[in-house]
Structure 1
Amino acid sequence: MTTATHTDVSDEARVIIDPDIELVKKAQQELPYRDTAYSALMKRHEQVLYRVCYRLLGNADDAQDVSQEVMLKVFAYLPKFEGRSMFKTWMMQIARNTSFTMQAKLKRQRELKEVLEGDVHQEASDRIVTEKMDVDSVLSKLGKQDREVLVMRYIAELQFDEIADVCGLSLSAAKMRVYRATEALKKKMST
């Protein structure tokens, strides 16, 4: 008589829950010599990955750059992926961190450029004049945490438990943060 170990049950549950797990396992076996499964995995998620990066960064070129960087990081770290979360959740965490790193880098570059050009006020005025009232501009006016949870929920279509994992929150805190961010978005859009 055999008994299922805790690990066996987790693996079975993960197969049911994570639609990517079989492809992930195959990619882990193939890499770095073959990339057939990895390519299929990236193809499956490339659009949502780009949309998440775009919403977090607000710029198509930056989003494309970060998406490519995330794909490279997934390639490099996929053999170490242990499956403690869904693959998509893990990849979105990489996208989130890489986007924030890019934002910080771009902010430093802008600040340096503004100091060198001495044209801080004119640039801010030009930006306000040219800004459109659409979802992207409203999202950009929200705080980093609000924007992050809204992107994860509505762009990446993550469940609340996945958002909690990605953001390092409890489930109830993730739900509350999404609710409050949604209310803040509604308020910004009505003004």
Structure 2
Amino acid sequence: MVTFAYKRSPNHRITMGTIRVERHVQATVSDVWESIADVEAVSEFAPNVSRAIALDPRGSGMHRRCWDYNDNQWDEECILWESERRYAFAVDTKASESSVHRLFDQFVGIFEVDDRTDGVILVAEFNLQPRYGPIGALLFRWMQPRMRREIEKMIENWAREIEKQTPPPSFSHEQK
């Protein structure tokens, strides 16, 4: 499932955009979490990330450095870490070499796992606040389909790898 939403200010300007992608995965929460919590492995799944390194131990407050395929780098800070549930990274948009990130005042990616009776829902949600007023909002609308496709591809790549690496689980617990 893919959703896209805008939050508007009273003067109808876009103040925040959200791109959310969900994918059902035939695996346990532990198996999915083990894969997505490897924060350096994002480059194996995200089509726009060529490499990533963790600069600190995993958890809230850790920093990660990423590069795209043009060797532009950006730094991210983990602002939320709930083991086997979710984590979030905020991109340092002001220091980013990536032209995409520089278009936003805020760029936050949230990754979460939602336990279900028949597997796990893997979620990637990006909350973005455009910079440059109405021009930034227009650029965001123009870029949104490409960004959504990249997020969908990342989630699909992750899910396929998780399902390939883990035996089919038997789900006998009740839905939370």
- Please confirm whether the aligned pair reaches a TM-score higher than 0.5, indicating the same fold: no
Larger Rg: 1
- Report the TM-score when normalising by structure 2: 0.27
If each structure's helix is expressed as a fraction of its own residues, which one has the higher value? 1
* Structure showing greater relative contact order (alpha-carbon pairs closer than 8 Å, 6 or more residues apart): 2
If each structure's strand is expressed as a fraction of its own residues, which one has the higher value? 2
